[in-house]
Amino acid sequence: FDDQEEQQRYRKSRRGADLPQLLIGILLFFIGALIPKYYFQSHNDKLLETVPPFQVTSSGDTILDFLLNDELVDPPTIPSSLLTWTSVWIPVMLLVIVESLALPRRPAIVVGAFLFAIGVSEGVTQSIKLIVHRKRPNFYQLCGFQLSTRTCTASPERIREAQFSFPSGHSSLSACCTVFLSLFLVAKTIHSQRLNTTQKRLMAWMICTLLWGWSLLVAVSRLVDHWHHPSDIVAGLLLGSVVAG
């Protein structure tokens, strides 16, 4: 009876200690995911004054930068809404379920750490975009460039978005989620007492293959859809992986 009471008191004390870490993770998640992207980027009017790159020949013809003249694919293969669900909300639910079935049960710690990593990754990614201002491969079409006036005529949001190519936000977010989930699920698999060595190895390979397969699909889609240069994608994958690791 005494042991049961001590265990109950221990669980309650751990829940109380875990809650602040969860709240810190949630707070940083919203700060990193929302403030740089929806406040600083949307209020950066200097981007609207950017002169599109072009050259005018002696005969009056306009020459555009071929690296920025790719076709605009909109909506993209993997839209932001699908990425958010597969890289944030579904992983959160998965972490809660898996950790709730384990002993000791500390889902608040795990979810807090995951949201912390996502918040840092998103905050760093969006901040770098604000500093670099690299134009996307589909810059001319995205900003609504008109040859007659040689100016961008699209909405302010699209003109700004056309200059946020580096690094790839889709790649950094998917990589951060993939590395975190891979480390977490593989660790749970290795320490499982229900599986033998062969089953653990097979399960670990399956987990890594599925997660990294999806992350690489997201990254490649940004290249195929002409939303990013190759170096943008590589930088995004590295950034997300380092933050989660």
Burial of 103 by CB count in 10 Å (0-12 exposed, 13-18 middle, 19+ buried)?
exposed
Q: Which of 133, 170, 191, 226 does the annotation list as catalytic?
A: 170
> Is-contact 86 186, C-beta < 8 A?
no
Q: Please state, in angstroms and rounded to a whole number, the distance separating the CA atoms of residues 184 and 86.
A: 16
Q: From the CA atom positions of the chain, what is the Rg in Å? A: 23
Could you confirm whether 191 is annotated as catalytic? Answer: no
> Which residue carries 């979810």 as its tokens?
111
Q: Which of 133, 191, 226, 228 does the annotation list as catalytic?
A: 228
Backbone angles phi, psi at 78, to 5 degrees: -120, 100
- 63, β-bridge pairs: 55
Determine the Cα angle at 218 with ends 128 and 173, to 5°: 40
Could you confirm whether 43 is annotated as catalytic? Answer: no
- The answer for residues whose C-beta is within 8 angstroms of residue 18's C-beta and 6 or more apart is 106, 108, 109, 112
DSSP label at residue 68 = G
User: Could you list the active site residues?
Assistant: 170, 228
